[in-house]
Structure 1
Amino acid sequence: MTLVVNALPTLGYSCPQLKTLDLHRCNRLDIDQVRSLVDTRLRDDGMTGLVKLGIYGGIGDALPEWDATGTWLKERVKFVTLLRDADLV
């Protein structure tokens, strides 16, 4: 799954009309790469911003910036679903 996570920046640039991104139980998901993808799409001409982002697990409960990241994403993406690993039990 590491290969998928490392592909996030490339996915952000290679799919200019990407509107929906759902990540299900990705191991060691780097939330900074997700934020970078969202931010880049909003700044670059010719790219659509994400309309829907779903993260279903892959982020540990101990991530200190979890709440701040959720707020940040919800200000930039219309529909956001964030579920921690513990929420998926």
Structure 2
Amino acid sequence: MVTFAELNNLKQQQPFQPFRVTTVSHESYEVQHPGLILIGDEEVTIGLPHPSKPPPVAGEMVWLWLESIENVEMIGSASK
């Protein structure tokens, strides 16, 4: 399970580096902008980029339990 602190550290890194969240059911979501993720104590909301507007405008939102996140990895690098 990924923790609040781990996700929050990724969100706040400077400069921001996009990352991928993978769930225990093998769904994956890319976080392309720090304004497209909201991290709660037990849940996470990820904004999927809008098809015609720039970030941080989301076209759709995905809601996940923190405990359902199996892995987080930087896009283009090894798993964290």
TM-score scaled by length of structure 2: 0.30
- Which of 1 and 2 has greater Rg? 1
TM-score scaled by length of structure 1: 0.28
* Larger strand proportion of the pair: 2
